[in-house]
Amino acid sequence: HGVWQHPEFSPAANTNENEISNVRFHPYAVRLGHLLAADAADAAEGYKAALRYACVRAYSGWTAEELTPQLNAALRERPWRAACVLAGTNDAVLAGVDAATTLARIQRLHEACDAAGVPVVVLTPPDADLAHHGLVPAEEAAQRRTVITEVADGLIRTSKKSGRALADVRAALPLCAAFFDDCLHPSPDGYDRMADVIHDALHRHGL
């Protein structure tokens, strides 16, 4: 979070000079693990308990296509309760891939979970103000932002059709200072809100 400078959301200290030096990490998995540990009456150890119930695999800048072998490797690690899959934004933002291709790539991630017998929670990609993203050509920012919207809409449709668990992160995190601190990534409060939405989806779908 706090990587890509935004005139309204970004902390004043973020100069966006270097992604590596600016990157800060607040994965939604920590709060999700805490909520799941509380469900199991096993939250007494705090952070340690949270890590037992949710494990994060984050690959900043990777496309859904590039994530496929990483997911397959993770699925072999242990018998997972569920896999929460958030992917596709980088296909649209960085690679300039169209919505149909991006959706097909995400579907392959879901199918990998199916093959491993692991239920999927589908996460919709949040909105992004790409006019302020340093790697997106200015003349393409609006079109790539539209693709993210189309991907989110497509995931909602296909999830309803297939009966997959859906956590509509996009609807829960409108692009505003309450949930974002740069043009693309949620703030810590935004990531915690994501965890709440995913936790609700797990319960609604009996996972």
pLDDT in tens, 46-79: 999 999 999 999 898 899 999 999 999 999 999 9
Q: How far is CA 194 from the centre of its chain?
A: 8
Q: Give me the phi and psi of 125, to 5 degrees please.
A: -70, 135
Rounded average pLDDT over 116-125: 97
Q: Which tokens go with 92?
A: 């649209």
CA-to-CA distance for 177 and 173, rounded, in angstroms? 10
Contact 83, 120 (CB under 8 A): yes
Percent of the chain with pLDDT over 70: 95
Mean pLDDT (the chain) is: 93
Rounded average pLDDT over 6-27: 75
76: amino acid identity, one letter: R
The neighbouring-strand residues paired with 84 are 121
pLDDT score of 96 more than 70: yes
pLDDT score of 19 more than 70: no
Confidence of residue 11 (pLDDT cuts 50, 70, 90): confident
pLDDT in tens, 174-190: 999 999 999 999 999 99
pLDDT score of 16 more than 60: no
Tell whether pTM > 0.75. Answer: yes
pLDDT score of 123 more than 70: yes
Res 14: pLDDT: 60
pLDDT in tens, 134-168: 889 999 999 999 999 999 999 999 999 999 999 99
Res 13: pLDDT: 62
Res 10: pLDDT: 85
Helix (H, G, I), strand (E, B) or coil at 180: strand
Confidence of residue 24 (pLDDT cuts 50, 70, 90): confident
